[in-house]
Chain A
Amino acid sequence: MFRLEVRTSTPAWFNLALPLLAIGATLVLCSGLIALAGAGVPDAYGVMFTASLGDSYAITETMVRAAPMIFTGLAVAVAFRAKFWNIGAEGQLLAGAVASCFVGAIPMPGPLAMVLMAVAGAAAGAAVALVPATLRVKFKVDDVVSSLLLNSVIYYALMALIEGPWKDSFSGYPISPPIEDSANFPVLIEGTRLHLGVIVALLAAPLIWFLIVRTTLGFRIRVTGENPEAARYGGIHVERVLISTALLSGALAGLAGVGEVGGVHFQVMSDISPGYGYSGIVVAMLARLNPLGVVPAAIFLAAVMTGAEAMSRATGVPAFLSDVIQGTALLAMLVALLFTAYRIRRVGVAR
């Protein structure tokens, strides 16, 4: 006989084993779709791997795509640690993109422009995240729904801007005017798109890890998430911690938008984010909410996205496979997480 038992602690190797298990299960499940499309499974995954991580140029492209997901992944990880259910990283990213585009279009010395773009983008993202947090703290409004609905509000605000005052009067395209050339983030390796923002994203992860694991604020965030009653009893102002968490989370998501404007698109358009905010949830869950784990998780998703297009050209399997992989990976990870809560134990028949 087997029985499910509640686990009291989880071994450390689970942090690595569970995401790998989830990713493995995802690739096995999705190979069915590749076969359905009439392509060889090893071929398809092979092309996907080579085109995203096979040579140095491919790696830079993958890193450029990973950068926004590192930021949104961190945003979600920080928020979920405090059990502030921020589903609004998508809207916060868009707000960050719009704010940084405003600032980037003002003529000023390049380095100053870049710093101000980052500040403005982070502030805009934080301001958006403040809404669901305030509503929860002051009015007990469910943060899941309010943060989700704000995504639509911000999206339509962005559309109103690019179809209204920002509209390109010359071409009539709904795109914002470009930012100043001097505000474009410097490219680190000539001939690639690897920009300064990618390095900032990679540095942000250990910084946020340090903040969560080693600082007082991080401790408060963790305690608030794990046991708000105990936190309150221990003298932690839980409401204030939730607000701080929201500001930090929103700022990180806003920075994802800054990187896309300053380093990739140099302007704002309606599809500036192909759902990076929602991908952030996948990244954070795969990382088990560990800021250091966010980096490999984001690189994995970015590699899948970058590789899917090449795979589609080579094998005819629709590139939308990457979207299926993303969704499946999230669901598989959630199931894998059950192993942290329960374990299967053999129950002896007689002693």
Chain B
Amino acid sequence: MSAVFEQIFQVGFLAAIIRIATPLAFATLGEMFSERAGVLNLGIEGIMLLSAMTGFTAASLSGSLWLGVLAAVLTGMLMGALHALFTVVLGLSQHVCGIGVTLFSSGLAYFLYRLIFGQQSVPPNINGFQTLPIPILSDIPVLGPAVFNQFALVYMAILAIPLAAFILYRTPWGLSVRMVGENPRAADSAGVSVIATRFQAVVLGGALMGLAGAFLSMAQFNAFTFGVVSGRGWVAIALVVFGRWDPWRSAGAALLFAFVDALQLRMQASGLGHIPYEAFLMLPFIFTIVAMAVMSRNAVAPSALLKPFRREER
């Protein structure tokens, strides 16, 4: 057991946690914005995959990583807009549309990737993002090299958390988002456009999902493979519930999951574990299902989640 503790307080281990948490934090914040506005986006898994692909492709063809990030974000916004068109504008069922968006986006990602890069025995890779030490801060013992010697996208994720909280709780638009997610009828009476606000929230969520995809293919793996997302979108769905639809708690949930995942990887590598590593990977899902059962009594989910809004139906 002491060996496990030693592992935890290593700089490399802390840095690994931060790196695993980054795409999850982006994805979770993205899903949270969408759900706070009353729209469940099960398209997240596919949106992350397609963004990872377009980001990687743009970076690979242009040689500019930031152009890749831009492509990924635009892809995320576009697919978010598609989901919003179906679920918000047309009022179609959110879960079925979400599955449709995931099937469509993943199919398109595989198709376009194969079309552009052909079938290669070794997948092409790029020179991904390099770590960017922040002066002074990166000299802090342990914490410095773990947190402040990271990729630029990691810093963006860290900044995105307070920013998301600020937008959601301190701006008029954030208030509108919470209103249309809690009580769209009242929001409508108060002059808030339910359709427009929901649409914007889902598109913003898509942009964040795009950043998650960009991180995976341009910082973490530096390549696009068909398993590059491998369920991280579903993890984000779980983390939003686990984090009670709050930016801070959701990000905390992402960090907690990253800790368990990093520990699991370490134990696998060092041969310490007697428990199959899959047991760890199952944990966030089981925890979330249990948490949903426990929490449902105080009903913290946005009240209008999954409910389409049509003005004429009263």
Contact = CB atoms under 8 A, between A and B. Distances in A.
Contact of B86 (A159, A324, A335): A335
Interface string A118-142: 0000000000000100010011111
A230 interface: no
A330 interface: yes
A148 B276 CA distance: 23
Contact of A285 (B40, B96, B107, B238): B96
Q: Which of B42, B95, B306 has most A Cβ within 10 Å?
A: B95
Contacts of B114: 318, 320
Given A164-B276, A318-B110, A330 B237 contact: no
A278 B103 contact: yes
Interface in B108-151: 108, 110-111, 114-115
Interface in A274-289: 275, 278, 281-282, 285
Contact of A156 (B101, B104, B107, B282): B282
Central interface residue in B90, B103, B292, B306, by most chain A CB within 10 Å: B103
Contacts of A334: 86, 92-93, 96-97, 100
A270 to B, nearest CB: 11
Interface string A135-168: 1001111101110111111011101100110000
A335 B92 contact: yes
A142 B303 CA distance: 12
A326 interface: yes
State which size class the interface on A falls in: 35 or more
A212 to B, nearest CB: 19
Contacts of A321: 107, 111
Given A320-B114, A334-B100, A335-B92, A149 B234 contact: yes
Contact of A323 (B96, B110, B296): B110
A324 B100 CA distance: 10
A148 B86 contact: no
A217 interface: no
Contacts of B237: 145, 148-149
A108 interface: no
Contacts of B305: 142
Nearest to B294: A139
B90 A145 contact: no
A282 B102 CA distance: 12
B111 A149 contact: no
A322 B279 CA distance: 33
A331 B86 CA distance: 8
Interface string B15-47: 000000000000000000000000010100010
26 contacts: A85-B95, A87-B42, A87-B95, A135-B289, A139-B292, A139-B293, A141-B289, A142-B305, A144-B42, A146-B289, A146-B292, A148-B237, A152-B231, A153-B282, A153-B286, A155-B231, A157-B278, A160-B276, A281-B96, A282-B103, A320-B111, A322-B107, A327-B105, A328-B104, A330-B96, A334-B92
B286 A323 contact: no
Contacts of B95: 85, 87, 144
Contacts of B281: 152, 156
B161 interface: no
Contact of A338 (B46, B90, B234): B90
A33 interface: yes
A85 B93 CA distance: 11
Nearest to B276: A160
B34 to A, nearest CB: 13
A36 interface: yes
B106 interface: yes
Interface string B270-297: 0000001011011001101100110011
B192 interface: no
Interface in B72-97: 86, 90, 92-93, 95-97
A37 interface: yes
B175 interface: no
Nearest to A324: B107
Contacts of B231: 152, 155
B216 interface: no
A187 B299 CA distance: 53
B100 A156 contact: no
Given A139-B296, A144-B40, A335-B90, A159 B111 contact: no
B99 interface: yes
Given A156-B281, A320-B107, A334-B93, 8 more contacts: A135-B293, A139-B297, A140-B296, A141-B293, A144-B42, A320-B111, A323-B106, A327-B107
B108 A324 contact: yes
B241 interface: yes
Given A141-B292, A141-B296, A160-B278, A278 B107 contact: no
A149 B99 contact: no
B301 interface: yes
A4 B175 CA distance: 32
A152 B285 contact: yes
B97 to A, nearest CB: 6
A155 to B, nearest CB: 8
A324 B111 CA distance: 8
B306 A142 contact: yes
Contacts of A159: 278
A318 B115 contact: yes
Contact of B306 (A138, A144, A322, A324): A144
Nearest to A36: B115
B240 to A, nearest CB: 9
A146 B292 CA distance: 8
Nearest to B234: A152
